[in-house]
Every structure is written in structure tokens, then in C-alpha cells.
Amino acid sequence: MARDIWFETVAVAQQRAKRRLPKSVYAALVAASEKGITVADNVEAFSELGFAPHVVGAVEKRELATTVMGQDISLPVIISPTGVQAVHPHGEVAVARAAAARGTAMGLSSFASKPIEDVIAANPKLFFQVYWLGGRDAIAERVERARAAGAVGLIVTTDWTFSHGRDWGSPKIPERMNLATILRLSPQAVTRPGWLWQWGKTLRPPNLQVPNQARKGEPGPPFFAAYGEWMGTPPPTWDDIAWLRELWGGPFMLKGVMRVDDAKRAVDAGVSAISVSNHGGNNLDGTPAAIRALPAVADAVGDQIEVLLDGGIRRGSDVVKALALGARAVMIGRAYLWGLAAAGQPGVENVLDILRAGIDCALMGLGHGSVHDLNADDIVVPPEFARALGVPAAGGV
């Protein structure tokens, strides 16, 4: 990678993204609910965990490969679905290419800006993410389209409460990208010539349609039409989850599980995987960091289904901490979005390389030859760290 676009840490990618993107686009990447308690805890909680390294006995070559939902991946990190459209003209296709180049899988958001068929052409290890939007018939139609396109798994996300009360302001997503919008946004954009030029070269403004929400024979609806339909759809029941899993019949993840009782119900509904997650702090603010909820959930269901974690991963050492506490792999959100904003496809590859190198270093220090050898003995967990949610007897809620 060209030296001038290479960055050494995810924090540097974030600084570059901030410098490169118009203010409102950058705000959409960092935004979270209400006061931001959860989004901050997602990151801070990793700093409370320590390592217990060995002094001698490091293994010369370390194995990072594993599998998630039936897919071989070269490191225990996959792309979490995100629906921000305007970061880069190549958007999800660039992310898919980067993930493929680095040997990993990708979740594609319901609110992605690119059609699933184009994204799968760039990376066949693709899990399609579903929001409960439009009821069973509409969902079945979209899921069948994903199957026909070649999706190898589903990710169902139900942890969303439509909160608008953000102290840092809700991201300003325009209704439509017409001349009036472009003129309104231009004062922000002119101070970001690199971003403007990227879009200028395509001769197209950022796409505010959501092509994967299209009904048969219709174009993708505008973002706000789809969001409105979502707000008007009754939230799913556990029976709905079991229905969709049955309909899909293949690898199926429920994303956003924080409680042990919910994890057990997910197992009963027949899921093959869950992600312990609070939507990157975008759901109910005040929810503890995902990493705090992981140990109890992994203990309860980790021998029955695959348990992943997402929320707050910024370093390879964070990945190692999550695996030591029971995750099979992690998903990343903002880290790759910052990489994409900073440098497009190579920027996402750069982020995956940073995580890979960090995982490898931590394995070396801990004296392990494989990510599969990580265990609770490798890390120092402060007494008040974990939160066993949904376990009344254990002092949880």
C-alpha cells in the first residue's frame, strides 16, 4: 500500500476520516444514542481488561484462521453490517473486496447503498442482514432475493428503538439528493475537496436509495420511505424469529443479544449464532458494554451455538480479549468505516491488517499457537467487570 495512505492504528484512520468527510457524514459514523454512555463503555471496557503474558514459550507461527457460520475465515474478525451510504462512492463493494482480499466474510446491511448481487460478486462469503421491516411477506421476498443472489447466511437485527434523543445531534440524512440538497451541503463539502472529488469523478451524488429493500419489479425505495415502513411494522416475536429461521434454513445469526435469557430463547428458536451486541451503542443508552455481557452469555450457550461479539473493537488485542472471554469471533463496525473513509478499499484492508497483526502479537505474548487456545486464564478481569444480564440468581437483572 502506498506509504502516504497507510495508517498504523485505527485511531489514525478515525482522525483521517474526520479530516476527509463532511461534518454531517462523519457525525453519522460516530453517532450513538442519547448521552453516549454505551458507545463509550463499549470501548473503555476493553481497557479494564489486562493480559497475563508468559516470559518464555512463545510459539513461532500462530494460526489465526477459524470458521463463522460455515465460512472459513483467515482471522477471527468479520465485517458487521452498517448502513451508512455516503462515506465512499464504492461503498459496500469496496468493503467486500477488501474483506475478500484479506480472507474474511461480510455482513451486508438492509440499508446498504449497493445491490446485494454486486456485493456478492466481490465477496461470496456474504451474510445478508435483515431488519424487521414490512412484515413476513416483504421479509420473505427480500430473503429469497438474498438466497438467489448467493448469500451464505442471514443476520437478523432486532435491537433498535427509533430513539432520536442524541445529545450530539442525529445524523442529518437528506430526504433526497437533488440540487437543493447539494447546495445546502456544499459549505461543508467544499472544505473536504478529497471527498468531493471522489464523488465528482463518478458524476453521481451519494445514493440515498436502499436497493435491497426493493419489492419485486420496483426500484429501491428512498432511505426515509424504508425507515418509515420499518417504524410502522409491528416488532417481531420469538415465533417470527423461529419462522424466519425455518424459512431460511441455513446459517442464521440473531444480532444484539445482551441477556442470558434471550440467548437461551434464541437457541430454542433454532439460531446457529448470536452476536453479543448493543448495536455499537445505537440502541438503549445505558446498556453495558457488549464485552461485559459476553462471559455469562458464552457460558450459557457457547457449547450450543456460535457466540460472536461486536462493539468497541479497535485493536487486535481487543479481539483476543473477546475470544479469551468466550467469543468465537468478532464483528467490526466503525473501525472499517473509518478505514473506508480514509482510503477506500485499501483503507479497509489496512484496518484488517492492523487487527491481524495485533491478534498475532497478543497470541505470541500469551504463548499460544492458535486463536482456539485462548481462554480465561490469559486475561485479568477486574472483580466488578462482568454483567450477567438476565440471570437473577447470579445477581444480574
Report the catalytic residues. 279
Give how many residues touch ligand FMN by CB under 6 A. 25
Tell the smallest beta-carbon distance from residue 79 to ligand FMN (Å).
9
Which three cell numbers mark 167? 445529545
Span from 78-86, 132-140, 229-237, 291-299 in contact with ligand FMN (CB under 6 A): 78-86
> By C-alpha distance, which of 260, 263, 268, 274 is closest to 242?
268
Of all residues in the shown chain, the one whose CB is closest to ligand FMN is 333
Which residue from 20, 88, 279, 315 is in contact with ligand FMN, where contact means CB under 6 A?
Answer: 279
3-state secondary structure 242-275: HHHHHHHCCCEEEEEECCHHHHHHHHHCCCCEEE
Which residue from 26, 111, 132, 248 is in contact with ligand FMN, where contact means CB under 6 A?
Answer: 111
In this structure, the number of other CB atoms found within 10 A of the CB of residue 275 comes to 27
Amino acid at 275: S
Which residue from 236, 312, 316, 339 is in contact with ligand FMN, where contact means CB under 6 A?
Answer: 312
User: Does 299 interact with ligand FMN (rule: CB under 6 A)?
Assistant: no
Q: Which residue has the cell 465485517?
A: 79
CA distance 32 to 165: 10
Tell me: is residue 164 an annotated ligand-binding position.
no
User: Does 255 interact with ligand FMN (rule: CB under 6 A)?
Assistant: yes
Which residue from 83, 205, 206, 220 is in contact with ligand FMN, where contact means CB under 6 A?
Answer: 83
User: Does 207 interact with ligand FMN (rule: CB under 6 A)?
Assistant: no
- Interacting positions 321-340 with ligand FMN (CB under 6 A): 332-335
First to last CA, the chain: 49
Give the up-direction half-sphere exposure of residue 230: CA atoms within 13 A in the CB hemisphere.
20
> By C-alpha distance, which of 211, 194, 265, 277 is closest to 236?
265
User: Does 346 interact with ligand FMN (rule: CB under 6 A)?
Assistant: no
Contacting residues for 129 by C-beta, under 8 A, at least 6 apart: 81, 107, 108, 109, 110, 154, 155, 156, 157, 255
User: Does 28 interact with ligand FMN (rule: CB under 6 A)?
Assistant: yes
User: Does 293 interact with ligand FMN (rule: CB under 6 A)?
Assistant: no
Which residue from 212, 277, 283, 350 is in contact with ligand FMN, where contact means CB under 6 A?
Answer: 277
Tell me: is residue 310 an annotated ligand-binding position.
yes
CA distance 51 to 368: 13
- Which residues are at the interface with ligand FMN (CB under 6 A)? 28-29, 42, 80-84, 109, 111, 129, 157, 255, 277, 279-280, 282, 310-313, 332-335
